[in-house]
Structure 1
Amino acid sequence: MPAAHSSHELVPADGHTVIQVRGARENNLRNVDIDLPKRRLTVFTGVSGSGKSSLVFGTIAAESQRLINETYTAFIQSFMPSLGRPDVDGLHNLSAAIVVDQERMGANSRSTVGTATDAYTMLRIIFSRLGTPHIGTSGAFSFNLPEGMCPRCEGLGQVSDIDVDQLVDREKSLNEGAITVPGYAVDSWPWSIMVASGFYDPDKKLGDFTDQEWKDFLHKAAVKVKVGSNNFTYEGLLTKIQRSWLVKDREALQPHIRAFVDRAVVFTQCPQCGGTRLTQAALSSKIDGVNIAECSAMQISDLAAFIRSIDDTAVGPLLGNLRHLLESLAEIGLGYLSLDRPASTLSGGEAQRVKMVRHLGSSLTDVTYVFDEPTIGLHPHDIQRMNDLLLLLRDKGNTVLVVEHKPEVIAIADHVVDLGPGAGEAGGEVCFSGDVAGLRASGTLTGRHLEHRARLREAVRTSQGQLSIKGADLHNLKDVGVDIPLGVLTVVTGVAGSGKSSLIHGYLADREGVVVADQSPIRGSRRSNPATYTGLLNPIRTAFAKANGVKAALFSANSEGACPKCNGLGLIYTDLAMMAGVASVCEECEGKRFTPEVLTYQLNGKNISEVLAMSVAEAHAFFPSGQAHTILGRLADVGLSYLRLGQPLNTLSGGERQRLKLAIHMAEKSSTYILDEPTTGLHMADVDKLLALLDRLVDEGNTVVVIEHHQAVMAHADWLIDLGPGGGHDGGRVVFTGTPADLVASSDTLTAQHLRQYVGA
């Protein structure tokens, strides 16, 4: 393996300093020493789990943020999250680090693309100055302030209503069990109070109630009633449900009640503001006949054109700033979004690009920007734009650190650090540090795959029938009709915003026999881990119980064997109210999650905590047969050999979550699989393994539909469906269907141009 270059070789000739990392041991890093040139673009490569994130995010960015926090007074620090020092001997010449990651932009229903980018704030000021009639300050146009929000929906744009028919069966009486709400079964205590209330006949069918009886049954405010010889409080059914359950945070409800609430509560567009969130006064004020809500609903590329048409020296600088911001969003490939789009609906890649645009306008220099796969969700056509922005940040005098797998991004790097050689225990070393030409010649896994190209599939499989989609008009789809061939590998392509997800998730995902493996978060993921989520823990617990002659429940950190101090989490979480909570290792079990008694029981020389600390690859060898071996084999098949069995699911990336879901679904008898960008987070060498896995699924008689931008996956497809020609209202049409060879030979779509270049045709 080529040795890492020495620090002397890394100092640029013009005297630029370097960030010095000495003895980094965070997670799987093996005493890493590395020098990174400042004010340069450095790309970190290596297979998933090789240690890239541990070095970039867990060491460099984490220490920078910790040191900045230490500059505050002790009083202020007492209100801030306590950041532990990374496991590293020395870090020198750090600058302030700004992490631009793929974390979703919060689930706050009041946050939109407009509020997250400050575009809406600028728009509000412009309308407060130029809108006619003039209605007041910019606050009058804010749906987050009392003076601007619609009084009916309080600025949310939606009102919630309860579907009464999800609560009761009108064909039955109370004595026949008409109430279907959890906890209201016949003879239950709440049911008894309602029956004894005297407001209606318990033998009368609910459908025959008078208006007054129906009102008392559903809406009556709290009153005292006599049940037997005691007085109790009676409330109408709806009144009680709203008071007991609907004012609480949804996640705080018990699972069966949460499921009921999700079923019974219906959100509809606010009838007063029409979903615009604003007062009638705000909606009445217009510029050139257009109000602020109509501006917010425009596609960003169209809004930029509208703002360009406004010419008023009173707000000239503000118009210029807003125009520049909107044009930057369009330039980065987000022109199809609108300012009123809820921030929570953005994908991880979209969220990262929105954050990136915010930093482009910053006057700060000499900052370290840290990016996590910024090309996720981008068509090859858009990657060039992303590269231009990364270089722009660098040229402003900043240090740019990028974790990335795409050869197109690696190609523009001033410096490359390749970690590996493998994942997990087999990784954590610097395999190469130098320029791109040096990486190509290095012989490392990344170096060997840099010029690797998948070839067009020579013999495509024959369709075994079709799934038809007709008249698709969700979001920007324009009455699309298309046939998805059965029994083959179909890849759906097109630039961001062209309608791929709307077509497949909107019209295929809910059909019988269709399994969707996507990158969405997994609920309850702080306590869950790969062992619990895949069902792997069951055979492991059984094996421990059998070997030691004790109950299997002892070997679950969610059951009897859990450490009583941390309830089996291994961590103590401290809630800091308005700020991010802090996690610290439980002192009682030292993070092992189990009681001392449970840890005395062993299986082949290992206790349960040691087994859960194993990687999938280690555990696969440790359990040479049986159900555990089978499940671990599936996890290895989807490229997750490096994951630890007890690793909390909330630490997994979107790509890892998707592959974990795929491993579970592989055990089911399914006929159609939908995968959404399964190459996310995959090294070029692992993409070949993914293609082999997709082939195996198809060869076993399944239909596989993949939404994907990676040219290797396109080239490997039996059938391509290309949407476009652009994004937003410039998309929503099927611009090509056929084999990859046909696309390369005869089509002129953006996808065709890039695939032609990729395969060298």
Structure 2
Amino acid sequence: MPVKQEQIPGDAIVIRGARQNNLKNLTLAIPGGELVVVTGVSGSGKSSLVFDTLYAEGQRRYVETFSPYARQFLDRMDRPQVDAVEGIPPAIAIDQTNPVRTSRSTVGTMTELNDHLKLLFARAARLHCRGCGKPVVRDTPQSIYESLLQVPSQRLVISFPVNIPKNFTEKEVEQLLQRQGYTRIHARSKGRLEVIQDRIRMSSAERARVIEALESALRVGQGRVNVYPEKSGSDPDFSVWRYSSGLHCADCDIHYSEATPAAFSFNSPLGACETCRGFGRVIGVDFGLVVPDEAKTLRQGAVRPWQSPSFRECQDDLVKYAKKRGIPLDLPFNQLNSFQKNWVLEGEADWKSWRKSWPGTWYGVRRFFKWLETKAYKMHIRVLLSKYRAYTECGACHGTRLKPDALLWKLDGKSIHELMLLPVSRVNGFFQSLSIDGEAAGLVLREIRTRLGYLCEVGLGYLTLDRQSRTLSGGEVQRINLTTALGTSLVNTLFVLDEPSIGLHPRDMGRVIGVMQRLRDAGNSLVVVEHDPQIMFAADRILDMGPGP
């Protein structure tokens, strides 16, 4: 039977004389822009053709386009045993292995959603004061005027605060203000003067006069204006409306810095918690290991490290000071109240140092371990410390990994960490219903919606964005990489996949096939090593390898 000869298309990948591993001088052409499934019995050379020949050559050629300086930072692959490979584009391998070992990598960083979220929060989030919880906005003369229109019949005093520098007296500051025409003082306090700019009644005052008074007060008051209702009686400060032209809560007198994308990233020194450096955990004394059996009393040896002969003296100190302070020695540890437990573990609050406070003040378990750390140059001390150390949640950021100010910026009432804790499906719903003004923010929002939609399409809607990458299964990593490739809108690229059906329920296979077809329709070539009939039926071509006649 004659073999049908097919003309090789111009964009095909042509392999001539492949001899890698099990391949026996194989020559073939793989059409570009198609989904090709490579199948066959074990040992037939599927992986040798797809990964060790196709991917290796595509990656090697791509890396060679960089400068010699840049190439030293990239993984370089050996040239495969092949006579020639023609028409091969840059290659990306998406396999089942999970190479991530660092806890800094999360689902959000792998999918690049974190990068888009920090851009969106820097542009569109609203700041809320840490003191009063109210939104912090920049006031302008026009916005202040609009808010004052709500009290048209009230006679108002427009004033601004002036802080008295330490190298000036109050009288000298008043003389400087008088030279500028400000002669009336509304109120005096320690280190501050409330200077009157104007007195007005909104119902009769011209708009230009009010705006001019507010502009002058903001300029001389360094961005702060206070408006008092004029009231007869002994208490002129009955109520006050405070305004500020900067990122400053006028009520709490707290200044805030501008939002930058780096402030919302735990992988940046500008945004990472200073205590845990963005890991969310710190290594320290685990009191669960120090007091392993809470049914024991203090006299029976509830504090385990003090029961050895080396530190028996500390157990004697505990008994001695517990008697002095009225701490029960014969009550099980789990029946002590919170104050008594804190006394045992943290020591007394008026402790200053070993030289000044001991003896006389109880040091507690934590200070005992801090003292041990000064002796850590001894091997047996390091071994002892390792027995009672464990990773615990960072007390400064409470596991958010970010500096506290980053959590004050919110989108529709949710901070960036609150969104990270939600499943992808709920985050997707949140952003689908979110409306934002501004062209740049709209572009970022559209990209976020697209990537979240891809994750839901491949059945990963149950993951959270803060899930560590190293805890993901091979199938989850492969699907995340697929959606990341789809989200980056790559074209004219060769994608090499290694059995994407492994570990997938048949219901999810259709979703993965849909993603692969989208990559193909975008102008990419896909070569998939696979045995699943569903993917084989969806393929444009099938390459069956193995022993033949």
The bucket for the TM-score relative to the shorter chain is: 0.5 to 0.7
**Match for 1:110 among 104, 112, 128?**
104
User: Compared with structure 1, are the counterparts of its residues 76 and 302 closer, same or farther at alpha carbon in structure 2 (3 Å cutoff)?
Assistant: closer
Q: Which residue of 1 aligns with 2:476?
A: 350
Structure-2 separation of matches of 1:287 and 1:216: 42
Q: Which residue of 2 aligns with 1:309?
A: 433
Q: Which residue of 2 aligns with 1:274?
A: 398
**Match for 1:220 among 371, 387, 395?**
371
Shift of 1:264: 4.5
User: Once the two structures are superposed, what CA deviation does each residue of 1:3-37 show, in whole Å capped at 9, x if it has no partner?
Assistant: 9x78x4363xxx45422222222122222222211
Q: Which residue of 1 aligns with 2:22?
A: 28
Shift of 1:392: 1.2
User: Compared with structure 1, are the counterparts of its residues 148 and 213 closer, same or farther at alpha carbon in structure 2 (3 Å cutoff)?
Assistant: closer
User: Compared with structure 1, are the counterparts of its residues 242 and 406 closer, same or farther at alpha carbon in structure 2 (3 Å cutoff)?
Assistant: farther
Q: Which residue of 1 aligns with 2:546?
A: 420
Structure-2 separation of matches of 1:242 and 1:157: 29
Contact 1:296 1:339 in 2 (8 A): yes
Residue 19 in structure 1 maps to residue 13 in structure 2: yes
Shift of 1:152: 2.6
Contact 1:28 1:51 in 2 (8 A): yes
**Match for 1:9 among 6, 11, 30?**
6
- After TM superposition, list the pairs within 5 Å mapping 1:488-527 onto structure 2: none
User: Compared with structure 1, are the counterparts of its residues 28 and 312 closer, same or farther at alpha carbon in structure 2 (3 Å cutoff)?
Assistant: same
Q: Which residue of 1 aligns with 2:42?
A: 48
Contact 1:10 1:37 in 2 (8 A): no
**Match for 2:409 among 277, 281, 285?**
285
Q: Which residue of 1 aligns with 2:449?
A: 323
Contact 2:285 2:366 in 1 (8 A): no
**Match for 2:507 among 367, 381, 384?**
381
Residue 147 in structure 1 maps to residue 270 in structure 2: yes
Q: Which residue of 1 aligns with 2:459?
A: 333
Helix, strand or coil: the match of 1:114?
A: helix
Shift of 1:78: 4.4
User: Once the two structures are superposed, what CA deviation does each residue of 1:684-725 show, in whole Å capped at 9, x if it has no partner?
Assistant: xxxxxxxxxxxxxxxxxxxxxxxxxxxxxxxxxxxxxxxxxx
Q: Which residue of 1 aligns with 2:248?
A: none
Letter in 2 for 1:397: G
**Match for 2:493 among 367, 376, 381?**
367
Structure-1 separation of matches of 2:420 and 2:542: 41
User: Compared with structure 1, are the counterparts of its residues 112 and 205 closer, same or farther at alpha carbon in structure 2 (3 Å cutoff)?
Assistant: same
Q: Which residue of 1 aligns with 2:308?
A: 172
Shift of 1:169: 4.7
Letter in 2 for 1:149: A
Q: Which residue of 2 aligns with 1:92?
A: 86
Structure-2 separation of matches of 1:317 and 1:82: 36
- After TM superposition, list the pairs within 5 Å mapping 1:471-620 onto structure 2: none
Structure-1 separation of matches of 2:443 and 2:99: 29
User: Once the two structures are superposed, what CA deviation does each residue of 1:137-161 show, in whole Å capped at 9, x if it has no partner?
Assistant: 1222212223322223222112222
Structure-2 separation of matches of 1:17 and 1:157: 49
User: Once the two structures are superposed, what CA deviation does each residue of 1:439-470 show, in whole Å capped at 9, x if it has no partner?
Assistant: xxxxx9xxxxxxxxxxxxxxxxxxxxxxxxxx
User: Once the two structures are superposed, what CA deviation does each residue of 1:548-600 show, in whole Å capped at 9, x if it has no partner?
Assistant: xxxxxxxxxxxxxxxxxxxxxxxxxxxxxxxxxxxxxxxxxxxxxxxxxxxxx
User: Compared with structure 1, are the counterparts of its residues 364 and 107 closer, same or farther at alpha carbon in structure 2 (3 Å cutoff)?
Assistant: same
**Match for 1:236 among 375, 383, 399?**
375
Q: Which residue of 1 aligns with 2:32?
A: 38
Shift of 1:82: 4.1
User: Compared with structure 1, are the counterparts of its residues 58 and 285 closer, same or farther at alpha carbon in structure 2 (3 Å cutoff)?
Assistant: same
Contact 1:217 1:236 in 2 (8 A): no
Helix, strand or coil: the match of 1:125?
A: helix
User: Once the two structures are superposed, what CA deviation does each residue of 1:465-513 show, in whole Å capped at 9, x if it has no partner?
Assistant: xxxxxxxxxxxxxxxxxxxxxxxxxxxxxxxxxxxxxxxxxxxxxxxxx
Residue 138 in structure 1 maps to residue 246 in structure 2: no
Contact 1:173 1:206 in 2 (8 A): no
User: Compared with structure 1, are the counterparts of its residues 375 and 299 closer, same or farther at alpha carbon in structure 2 (3 Å cutoff)?
Assistant: same
User: Compared with structure 1, are the counterparts of its residues 119 and 81 closer, same or farther at alpha carbon in structure 2 (3 Å cutoff)?
Assistant: closer
User: Compared with structure 1, are the counterparts of its residues 131 and 416 closer, same or farther at alpha carbon in structure 2 (3 Å cutoff)?
Assistant: same
User: Once the two structures are superposed, what CA deviation does each residue of 1:504-530 show, in whole Å capped at 9, x if it has no partner?
Assistant: xxxxxxxxxxxxxxxxxxxxxxxxxxx
Helix, strand or coil: the match of 1:170?
A: helix
Contact 1:42 1:415 in 2 (8 A): yes
Letter in 2 for 1:171: Q
Helix, strand or coil: the match of 1:356?
A: helix
Structure-1 separation of matches of 2:69 and 2:265: 34
Structure-2 separation of matches of 1:363 and 1:324: 11
Larger Rg: 2
Q: What is the aligned-residue identity percentage?
A: 38
Helix, strand or coil: the match of 1:334?
A: coil
| Larger RCO (alpha carbons 8 Å, 6+ apart) | 2
Q: Give 5+ residue unaligned stretches, structure 1.
A: 175-201, 223-234, 246-256, 422-430, 432-443, 445-761
Shift of 1:326: 0.5
Contact 1:10 1:35 in 2 (8 A): no
Letter in 2 for 1:123: L
Contact 1:105 1:346 in 2 (8 A): no
Shift of 1:240: 5.4
Shift of 1:363: 3.7
Helix, strand or coil: the match of 1:290?
A: coil
Structure-2 separation of matches of 1:289 and 1:384: 36
Letter in 2 for 1:95: P
Residue 121 in structure 1 maps to residue 115 in structure 2: yes
TM-score for the superposition, normalised by structure 1: 0.44
User: Compared with structure 1, are the counterparts of its residues 360 and 158 closer, same or farther at alpha carbon in structure 2 (3 Å cutoff)?
Assistant: same
Structure-2 separation of matches of 1:378 and 1:119: 24
User: Compared with structure 1, are the counterparts of its residues 137 and 75 closer, same or farther at alpha carbon in structure 2 (3 Å cutoff)?
Assistant: closer
Structure-2 separation of matches of 1:215 and 1:151: 21
Q: Which residue of 2 aligns with 1:63?
A: 57
Helix, strand or coil: the match of 2:458?
A: helix
Q: Which residue of 2 aligns with 1:295?
A: 419
- After TM superposition, list the pairs within 5 Å mapping 1:153-164 onto structure 2: 153-163=276-286
Structure-1 separation of matches of 2:418 and 2:405: 14
Q: Give 5+ residue unaligned stretches, structure 2.
A: 128-135, 137-257, 293-302, 319-361
Shift of 1:420: 2.5
User: Once the two structures are superposed, what CA deviation does each residue of 1:602-646 show, in whole Å capped at 9, x if it has no partner?
Assistant: xxxxxxxxxxxxxxxxxxxxxxxxxxxxxxxxxxxxxxxxxxxxx
Letter in 1 for 2:500: P
Letter in 1 for 2:268: L
Contact 2:285 2:369 in 1 (8 A): no
User: Compared with structure 1, are the counterparts of its residues 364 and 284 closer, same or farther at alpha carbon in structure 2 (3 Å cutoff)?
Assistant: closer
Residue 404 in structure 1 maps to residue 543 in structure 2: no
User: Compared with structure 1, are the counterparts of its residues 86 and 266 closer, same or farther at alpha carbon in structure 2 (3 Å cutoff)?
Assistant: same
User: Once the two structures are superposed, what CA deviation does each residue of 1:401-450 show, in whole Å capped at 9, x if it has no partner?
Assistant: 001111100111111112224xxxxxxxxx5xxxxxxxxxxxx9xxxxxx
Structure-2 separation of matches of 1:43 and 1:419: 11
Helix, strand or coil: the match of 1:411?
A: helix
Structure-2 separation of matches of 1:124 and 1:386: 28
Helix, strand or coil: the match of 2:407?
A: helix
Q: Which residue of 2 aligns with 1:590?
A: none
- After TM superposition, list the pairs within 5 Å mapping 1:706-745 onto structure 2: none
TM-score for the superposition, normalised by structure 2: 0.60
Letter in 1 for 2:390: V
Contact 2:375 2:381 in 1 (8 A): no
Shift of 1:76: 3.7
